[in-house]
Structure 1
């Protein structure tokens, strides 16, 4: 149940965040606003601002969900259960921030690939598929498979906090999984930022991730 709870919250936040972020990027591109912004602000800085803003918004939303849940447990006299889940919930929020930041960068890059609002669905399909796969796999696996996935970036967002909550982890395992997630995030954000910078000012046609990587800055 807790795995499903963590997975559903992560999936819901990622989908809502992704749709809004990709739409804002393509609207700026379609209206040529981004050309004015790019003349005074480096595109890398623009992307960083979008990632930070989106991640903080998603964190605020998740914090609100958690506060409502905690308030419900306190109101119903389930303080003992609250104490039991506090460690898993804390780790979930940490992994959640890293995972959302990665997905925010991917969705921004996907939005930059589009030239019209109608293109968003096709350009964001790979990222949506990754998000759905993380949710489905995270909530269905168990045993040794869940243990392995708890160290793999993105899937660890769901599976590692659930393992912590179940008392299945040694003290070092969440920290190691978080380190792997941060390392992967650096690589993914670096690649996605190149796609974002190279595709954002291309207004003549819709691009794929592969085509954008072949362009020059």
Structure 2
């Protein structure tokens, strides 16, 4: 009817059918040609709904007036999402670092145990040998991380999560950058630690400090993701910055200059660790038998 045409037209998803009077509208309902008839009424809404044998919920919902909602303190992201994002970043970094680091350590010890390292050192310096191990595994680890990031982006696009993708895009890029430098830091420590022993049975003992430095920051970020003080501190610690800073960027809690400063601190720290690790690696690689003390390895590297 013309009296209720505007009401029906304002309902989302409704297709109005115009009739001359109430009797014609009721007849269409009886013949099941329309879901319901919207007629003038005496209630607060000014209309009444005529249906055949049950209340048409979709029509009622479409005709219901929805007030405009204004939030004074809107929550950007839920606590569950905070935990999931921190867990995802942390798990990718920790699993890649530990997996590739153990591979570097085992290869180093196997080369010492089989005396292949003596042949290798006759062709290349010890530092170049360590650099090849670290860089080779870094390329593989970063490639895996980039593939995971690409799959995540594709998944968000396919599932229609463009809003989340727009928020997650920049943190993923920062995560890959931090991951590259942070992985080199830990890989150098794995290689240097493994060079101190000559048997695979002794690898676990020398790798314990490196494993703790890898896992403790991960657990700190995951379990204290809602603690601003802890997250701020860990975003500048070299061992936890690759996870903590991208998480803070995702939630918009870091200023624009903070990731730059954190990355510089991580790069400088990685450079210092590489220099120290290379000296340990060169000073202990040819020494077999018992575990080589750090002082002895450093002293041998000076000669």
| TM-score for the superposition, normalised by structure 1 | 0.95
Higher helix share: 1
Residue 80 of structure 1 is matched in structure 2 by 163
Greater Rg, structure 1 or structure 2?
A: 2
Assess if the C-alpha contact under 8 Å between 2:217 and 2:234 holds in 1.
no
Deviations 1:195-217 (A, max 9, x none): 11111110122224344334344
Q: How many residues align?
A: 217
Task: Describe how 1:51-130 pairs up with structure 2 within 5 A.
Answer: 51-130=134-213
Name structure 2 gaps, 5 residues minimum.
1-83
Flag structure 1 segments of 5+ consecutive residues without an equivalent. Answer: none
How far is 1:79 from its partner? Answer: 2.1
Is contact 2:118-2:286 (8 Å) kept? yes
Mapping 1:11-22, distance limit 5 Å: 11-22=94-105
Contact 2:213/2:239 (CA < 8 Å) preserved in 1?
no
Contact 1:123 1:208 in 2 (8 A): no
Aligned partner of 1:38 in structure 2 is 121
- Whether the aligned pair in 1 keeps the contact of 2:85 and 2:247 (CA below 8 Å) is yes
Tell whether the 8 Å contact from 2:94 to 2:214 is kept in structure 1 after alignment. yes
Residue of structure 2 in register with 1:162 after alignment: 247
1:17 partner SS: helix
In the alignment, the residues of structure 1 paired with residue 286 and residue 211 of structure 2 have an alpha-carbon distance, to the nearest angstrom, of: 24
The 1-side partners of 2:127 and 2:300 are apart by 16
Higher RCO (CA-CA < 8 Å; seq separation 6+): 1
Residue in 2 that maps onto 1:47? 130
Secondary structure of the 2:195 match is: helix
Q: CA RMSD, aligned part only?
A: 1.3
Q: In terms of mean alpha carbon deviation, does 157-166 or 143-152 score higher?
A: 143-152
Task: Report what 1:149 is aligned to.
Answer: 234
Q: Give the whole-Å Cα distance in 2 for the aligned partners of 1:100 and 1:28.
A: 22
Change in 2 beyond 3 A, CA 1:75/1:208: farther
Measure, in 2, the Cα distance between the counterparts of 1:48 and 1:17. Answer: 14
Q: TM-score, normalised by structure 2?
A: 0.69
- Alpha-carbon distance in 2 for matches of 1:132, 1:81: 28
Query: Equivalents in 2 of 1:138, 1:54: separation in Å?
Result: 25
After alignment, is 113-122 or 134-143 more displaced?
134-143
The answer on 1:172 being equivalent to 2:257 is yes
